[in-house]
Amino acid sequence: MEVISQPITRLDNIRGNFVRLYDALKAQGFHQEAKEILTKAVEQGFFFDPMQRPVNLIEGLESMPVHNSQDFPIVEFLESHFDIIREEVIALQSEVRQQAFCDVEEPLIDAGRWQEIVFFEAGARSKKSCDLFPKTSSVLDALPLEVKEAGVIMLSMLEPQTHIVPHCGHTNGRLRVHMGILIPNDVVLRVKEEYVTWTEGQCLVIDDSYEHEVWHYGETPRIVLIVDIFHPQLSKVDKERLRTKSSSVESRVGEFMEQNHLKVIQRTAEGIRFEPNEYMGKKVARYLSQISCSMVRLSDGSMEMSSEEVPMADMVL
């Protein structure tokens, strides 16, 4: 089905508003009201299932929370190279591993720690990650270009006693392949109403546009290789549209800056410095003028204000 970009963008915005309202109500304890919001969204045709809430929803695709992994040729390829990847992960010293993995940005854990190391994102190859895992990267380099462009390829690590809260992926146009690398006991994944776990050397294929959640009650880190693939029924038009939406990391940085009214992002020795664009700069200047201060710092919900001139280094966010 050919999709026209403008209506889809408008629908994406509406679905996003439903999701944000649902999340906000649920976070404040209004669980019944949150359910009613999803019921209304399904009744009006914005979602097909209250447990499947992708902002970018593509119609006409066969939909199930957990797919038969043997239906996907990539599974045989990944599983045939499991030993190479696992040995390299184990060989990496724990302190180096801690430096290599980065915390997942999304606020999706209420306990523990969730980290990742990305090899490919939207077709862009991370030289730093690939240099750290040369054998693993040689395996991933052999994947078809379409796989590398579909989304993200990464190692995902959960520390013991971690809980990833219920959430939905951005689109049903992609499926997510998980191959177990280091899997302790007592780790559970829920996708909609199906409960599964990982097995070392074997792949799961899930549709993460369904609500999913993870509990890690084990005693050692859980590490899986994650590879995004396009849904097998996705049309060429929709594949190209998803590629365009993902596009390059550079374009997403630009989109982030536009959405947040930023003119400059700079990494310094002190941290990350943000400089607002003209619109936001004038708005902030007006607020500061009205409260007669030159600096405001927000920490744990409390606000600290000062009328003294503050060095730029102290203004780093």
Query: Is residue 120 over pLDDT 90?
Result: yes
pLDDT tier at 248 (50, 70, 90 boundaries)?
A: low
Please state, in angstroms and rounded to a whole number, the distance separating the CA atoms of residues 186 and 297. 42
Q: Out of 51-60, 65-74, 303-312, which region has the weakest mean confidence (pLDDT)?
A: 303-312
Domain range summary for the chain, segments of one domain joined by +:
5-43, 66-252, 260-315
CATH architecture of 66-252: Sandwich (2.60)
Nearest C-alpha neighbor of 1 from the set 170, 208, 247, 233: 233
What's the full length of the chain, in residues?
317
pLDDT at 246 over 70: no
Percentages (nearest 5) of helix, strand, coil residues in the chain: 40, 30, 30
Phi and psi at residue 299, to the nearest 5°: -145, 120
The pLDDT of residue 20 is 92
Looking at residue 300, the DSSP 8-state letter turns out to be: T
pLDDT band at 255 (very low <50, low <70, confident <90, very high): low
Q: Which of 274, 263, 260, 262 is nearest to 316 (CA)?
A: 274
Question: What is the rounded CA–CA span in Å between residue 197 and residue 217?
Answer: 12
pLDDT band for position 2 (cuts 50, 70, 90)? very low
Classify residue 133 as exposed, middle or buried by CB count within 10 Å of its CB (0-12, 13-18, 19+): buried
User: What is the rounded distance in angstroms from the CA atom of residue 82 to the CA atom of residue 114?
Assistant: 22
Burial class (CB in 10 A: 0-12, 13-18, 19+), 128: exposed
**Half-sphere exposure of residue 83: CA atoms within 13 angstroms, side-chain side:** 1
Q: What is the pLDDT of residues 90-112, one digit of tens each?
A: 988 666 666 778 888 788 888 89
Query: Distances from the Cα of 97 to the Cαs of 90, 124, 161, 223, in angstroms?
Result: 10, 22, 19, 11
Rounded to 5 degrees, φ, ψ at 3 are -115, 135
Mean pLDDT along residues 223-234: 96
Mean pLDDT, all residues of the chain: 87
